[in-house]
Structure 1
Amino acid sequence: MRLFPGFLILSTLLTGCASLTEDECAVGEWARIGANDAAQGLKASRLTDHKKACERYNIEPDQTTYMEGYRRGLVAYCTPTNGFNVGRNGYTYRTICPRDTETGFLSGYKRGTTLHNIETSIAQVRDSLREVRTQIGELRAAPSKENRDARMRLYSEENRLENEEARLGRQRDAALVNADIFLQNINPDI
C-alpha cells in the first residue's frame, strides 16, 4: 500500500511556547511566518502571540503581509491528503480551512482520525493483554486453588482481549484499504 506521500506539510512543532525570538521579529519575514503558522494548522490568531513576543523588542508585526502568507499556507494545509495525515497523527483540526477547501480536508481528516482511533485502541488492548499474561505467569508460579480460579478468569479475559485485538485488526485493515483508495483517487501519483 502506498499510504503516505513523501511530503507532510504538518510540522511536528505544534507548540505554544514563545512564538518568536528577537531576531525573527527584527528580520520580519511575516509572509513566511504566516505561511508556516497556517501550514502547521494554527489559527490566524497566532499573530496575537507574535505581536506580544515582538512587543518586548518594540517591533510591530506586519499584519497584512502575515495574512497574505497565512492564506498561502492554508492552500498547502487544507488538502485532503494533509487532512488524512493530520487525523492519522492524532492532531486536532482547528477549523481554519476556507469553505471551498474544508470539505476535502475533512474527508481526509475523518479517514485519518478513524485509523488513528483504531490503532490507539489496538495499542490499549495489547497493553491489557500484556498485563493479563503477566498476571497469569505470576499465578502459575504459586499454584493454589484460589490461584487456579483466578487464572481461569484471566484465561477468559485473555481470550476476550485476543478476540478484540483480532476484530480491531480487521477494522484497521479495512480502514487502511479505504484510506489507500481515497489517497490514490485524490493523487494518482502516490
Structure 2
Amino acid sequence: MQQWLLVLILVSLSGCASLSKQECLDADATSWEGVGYEDGYNGYHPDRRLSQHYEACSKLGVFPHRETYMTGWSRGILEYCTAERGYAIGLSGSRGNPELCPDGTGILFQENAELGLQIYELKREMDSVYNEIEDLERRLDDAKLDKHARRDIRDRIRHRDDEMSHLRWRLMEAQSMPLIRF
C-alpha cells in the first residue's frame, strides 16, 4: 500500500515531465501499474506515454513493464472516461482525449466535455466584454473628450452591457443543462 501511495505522489509531482531520474530508479514491476493507472486517469495515450517513460528511464538501465503498465492504464482510463470527468475537463478549456475511451464511453465523455467547454468559452467571452467595458469607462474620465466622443463611448458601453446580459443568459442556460448520460 505504501508503495502505491509513493508512486501516485511521485507521478503527480512530475507534472508534464514523464518520470524523474529518481522515479525511474525507484520503479519496479509493481510500480509500473501505478504509473499506468495515473496516466490512464489523466487521459494520456498509452503508447506515447510509455515511450516517454522508456526515453526517460532507459538511459538509467530501467525499462518500463508494458504489461503491468497497461493493466494500470486500463483501470485509470475507465475513471477518465466518465461524464463528470469530461465535463470537468471541458470546464478547464480542453476537449480531452475521447478517442482513448473504451466501449462507446468516448461519445459520452466528448458530449460532456463539449458542454463544459461551452461554459468555459462563455466565461472567457464575458471576461473580455467586462474588461472592454472597464476600459471604456476609464476613457470617460478623460477631461479632453468632447460631448460627441462621450456619447459614442456611452453608446458603446450600453451595447457591451447588452451583450453582457445576453452572455449571462447563455451561461445560465448552459450551466442548467444536466450532464449527458446513456
TM-score normalized by the length of structure 1: 0.80
Is 1:30 the counterpart of 2:32? The answer is yes
User: Who is 2:126 aligned against?
Assistant: 122
What's the Cα RMSD here? 2.2
Q: CA deviation at 1:122?
A: 0.7
In the TM superposition, 1:85-104 aligns within 5 A as 85-94=88-97, 95-104=99-108
Aligned to 1:16: 16
Question: CA contact under 8 A between 2:41 and 2:79: conserved in structure 1?
Answer: yes
CA contact (8 A) 2:82 2:108 kept: yes
Hey, what does 2:6 align to over in structure 1?
A: none
Q: How many residues align?
A: 167
Partner of residue 53 from structure 2, selected from 30, 50, 55: 50
- Contact in 1 for aligned 2:95/2:113 (Cα 8 Å): no
Q: Distance in 1 between matches of 2:13 and 2:81?
A: 18
2:62 aligned with 1:59: yes
The C-alpha deviation readout for 1:98-156, integer Å capped at 9, x for no partner, is 2421111112112111111111111111111111111112x2xx24xx53222111111
Work out the CA distance in 2 between the residues paired with 1:113 and 1:16: 22
Paired with 2:16 and 2:94, the residues of 1 have a C-alpha distance of 14
Under a length normalisation based on structure 2, what TM-score does the superposition of the two structures give? 0.83
Higher relative contact order (CA 8 A, sep 6+): 1
Contact 2:95 2:114 survives alignment (8 Å): no
Unaligned runs of 5+ in 1: 1-10
Tell me the percent identity.
23
One-letter amino acid matched to 2:59:
R
Aligned to 1:112: 116
Indicate if the aligned counterparts of 2:14 and 2:20 stay in contact, CA closer than 8 A: no
Deviations 1:147-185 (A, max 9, x none): 32221111111011101110000000011111xx337x7
Is residue 2:139 matched to residue 1:135? yes
